[in-house]
Amino acid sequence: MYCKTPQNGAGCTYGALTELLMGTKLTLRTVEAAKPLAKPYELRDGDIKGLLLRVQPSGVKSFVVEWGRGKRTTLGRFPVMTLAAARTQAMAALADAAQHGTPEIAKPRGKVVTLGDLINKEYGPWVKANRKDGEATVARLESTFSEFLTKPLSEVNAWVVEKWRSARLKSGKTPATVNRDLTALKACLSKGVEWELLETHPLTKVKPSKVDTQGRVRYLLPKEDKALRKALHNRDAKMIAERKSGNRWRAERERELLPDIPDDGFGDHLTPMVLLAMNTGLRRGELTSLEWTDIDLRGKQLTVRGGNAKSGTTRHVPLNVEALDVLKRYHRQHSSNGRLFDLTRVNKSFAALLESAGVASLRFHDLRHSFASHLVMAGADLYVVKELLGHASIAMTERYSHLAPGHKAKAVALLGGGAK
């Protein structure tokens, strides 16, 4: 959707926008292009009557379903909630409303008394609709704070949480892990205060545990890098040979053949994911959220959209020679539509790869550390590395500063040779 009618430089006027969309259905293009104005406005879908996109002056875009005059509820925020998911939920809600008057999604969920009530009736549905890691957040809360779920909200206070923290640390959990758990709980209770289910936040005085922010940066050593690449090559070669053998067997029995894998192709997703992580520094979640529309082979860059980035900010990452070659080869094997990698986890296949390569104590996330570490060791500016990684602050990038070639030695050398 393109509109040339300005309003204080903020974009299209509401009238121009609605005129453009009248009688047409919402598309990803129109949703992404809808610009914030001085006042909130809504775009109605011409395909599914009752589905709307509400755009706030802040830029927040939410899908809304309306089943009668003044009868509506919010489905979720874009881009955490996709247009396809909004359509599915809207159709289900409208069908539910036609049968029962009020769709289940809009019914009051009962009185919130315990922490479990807050999570299950209020915070859980909200976080799942508005945060890309919503499902994982709810699972973390229910698992980590299971002993608190039946407690009245008034009893979830600083004292019991400090006892919980001491026991958690004593059991061997790292301060960083405990801090992440505590942050999840505090976020949940903050929403309880915002929604007036709690008068005050009970954990405002509970501070995070002290953590070594520099920590140990695990990155691939040259020998490990070589071994990992060899293991990837061998794995693909084996899968390609097995596909050829399998298709010969199928042809002899007049069975449908499986798609051929080119000799320079990849057996599956693992090699492209690993090599892209090593050459772009993308997080695993950012990799698995990539769509082919995010890849610009001609411009030699990829785009990490804000809704899929930890920082919430869109960034553009240049593609070096190897990353570009990997994507071109992988593209020849796959459709140009949808996601590059139709999966969320690679734990088992990555663990097997490390075992065959003889590389120990390496997580998939350490490939991101390798990308940053090797850039810094090659003399890259920390601020450039920060932008490539999508860090919210330079403090997060400074963990790699000790790897800069001779930076401390050069500083000390400024003092001269000392007494002679």
User: What HEC string does the chain produce?
Assistant: CCCCCCCCCCCCCHHHHHHHHCCCCCCHHHHHHCCCCCCCEEEECCCCCCEEEEECCCCCEEEEEEEECCEEEEEEEECCCCHHHHHHHHHHHHHHHHHHCCCHHHCCCCCCCEHHHHHHHHHHHHHHHHCCCHHHHHHHHHHHCHHHCCCEHHHCCHHHHHHHHHHHHHCCCCHHHHHHHHHHHHHHHHHHHHCCCCCCCCCCCCCCCCCCCCCCCCCCCHHHHHHHHHHHHHHHHHHHHHHHHHHHHHHHCCCCCCCCCCCCCCCCCHHHHHHHHHHHCCCHHHHHHCEHHHEECCCCEEEECHHHCCCCCCEEEECCHHHHHHHHHHHHHCCCCCECCCCCCCHHHHHHHHHHHCCCCCCCCHHHHHHHHHHHHCCCCHHHHHHHHCCCCHHHHHHHHHHCCCHHHHHHHCCCCCCC
Pairing of strands 41-44, 51-55: antiparallel
pLDDT value of residue 105: 77
Residue 17 has pLDDT above 80, yes or no: no
For the four alpha carbons of 82, 83, 84 and 85, in that order, the dihedral sign comes to positive
pLDDT value of residue 9: 40
Average pLDDT of the residues of the chain: 87
Question: What's the rounded mean pLDDT across residues 229-235?
Answer: 97
pLDDT value of residue 5: 40
Greater confidence, 49 or 266? 266
Instruction: Summarize pLDDT for 27-39 with one digit per residue, the tens.
Output: 988 898 889 998 8
Lowest mean pLDDT across 94-103, 112-121, 124-133, 244-253? 124-133
Residue 226 has pLDDT above 70, yes or no: yes
Place of tokens 């293009």: 29
Please give the positions annotated as active site: 283, 310, 365, 368, 391, 400
Single-letter code of the amino acid located at 22:
M
pLDDT value of residue 318: 96
pLDDT value of residue 232: 97
For the four alpha carbons of 298, 84, 259 and 264, in that order, the dihedral sign comes to positive
Q: How confident is the model at residue 6 (pLDDT cuts 50, 70, 90)?
A: very low
Neighbour count for residue 272 (Cβ, 10 Å): 23
Question: What's the rounded mean pLDDT across residues 399-416?
Answer: 73
Greater confidence, 402 or 244? 244
Question: What's the rounded mean pLDDT across residues 155-165?
Answer: 93
Whole-angstrom distance, CA of residue 306 vs CA of residue 135 = 19
- Assign residue 123 a region (left: φ > 0; alpha: ψ between -120 and 50; beta: otherwise): alpha
pLDDT value of residue 2: 41
User: What's the whole-model pTM score?
Assistant: 0.62
286: nearest Cα among 267, 313, 268: 313
Greater confidence, 71 or 317? 317
pLDDT value of residue 1: 40
Greater confidence, 167 or 110? 167
Residues 231, 254: contact at Cβ < 8 Å?
no
Residue 350 has pLDDT above 60, yes or no: yes
Q: How confident is the model at residue 420 (pLDDT cuts 50, 70, 90)?
A: very low
42-50 contact pairs (CB < 8 A, 24+): 43/17, 43/18, 44/18, 46/21, 46/22, 48/87, 48/90, 48/91, 48/94, 49/94, 50/90, 50/93, 50/94
Instruction: Summarize pLDDT for 279-336 with one digit per residue, the tens.
Output: 999 999 999 999 999 999 999 999 999 888 888 889 999 999 999 999 999 999 987 7
- Assign residue 50 a region (left: φ > 0; alpha: ψ between -120 and 50; beta: otherwise): left
Q: How confident is the model at residue 214 (pLDDT cuts 50, 70, 90)?
A: low
pLDDT value of residue 108: 64
Whole-angstrom distance, CA of residue 8 vs CA of residue 31 = 21
Q: Which of 46-60, 75-89, 171-185, 273-287 has the highest mean pLDDT?
A: 273-287
Residue 371 has pLDDT above 80, yes or no: yes
